Amino acid sequence: MNEANVNQYTLHTGTNGGQCKLDPNADPRYNVSQSKSFLGNPLGLECKSADGANAGCGVNDFDGSAGGSFNKANGGVIAMLWDETQVTIWRFGRNQIPNDIQTGNPNPDTWGTPVAYWSDKSCDIAGSFRDNKRAHHPYPSL
């Protein structure tokens, strides 16, 4: 049973994949007072997996972002934007879910600073991640 109350978002690339590192200051797209491009706490910076080194490059969210405390707060929404230039993750508590998500018309440009962010300035997003399938889930239960 996993009783963690902190979510972790991590990228893993293959040993022969494109160069990919987590650089908290790689892109000024999102301005954060801690001089980072995202709100979460950086973990490993090397995304490339190798024998005995498969931790990936990750970001810890804050206490209450998972597990029992997240459930007690009635959950929320975790949203990811993945394109050729970025992998970006936002988390919204139940009372903070943007209206555009609730109406099924998500607009990440209006969501503010993400909890995790990997930029193509320090990670070959297009060369490192592919052949994944998307699933569309409507938002009727929000």
Q: Which of 7-11, 109-113, 121-125, 129-133 is least confident?
A: 129-133
Radius of gyration of the chain (CA): 16
Which residues partner with 119 through β-bridges?
86
Q: What is the pLDDT of residues 57-98, one digit of tens each?
A: 999 999 989 988 888 999 999 999 999 899 999 999 999 999
Beta-carbon contacts of 60 under 8 Å, excluding residues fewer than 6 positions away, are: 6, 7, 8, 40, 41, 43
Q: Which CATH class is domain 8-123?
A: mainly beta
Closest CA to 80 of 118, 46, 47: 118
Per-domain residue ranges for the chain?
A: 8-123
Predicted model pTM: 0.84
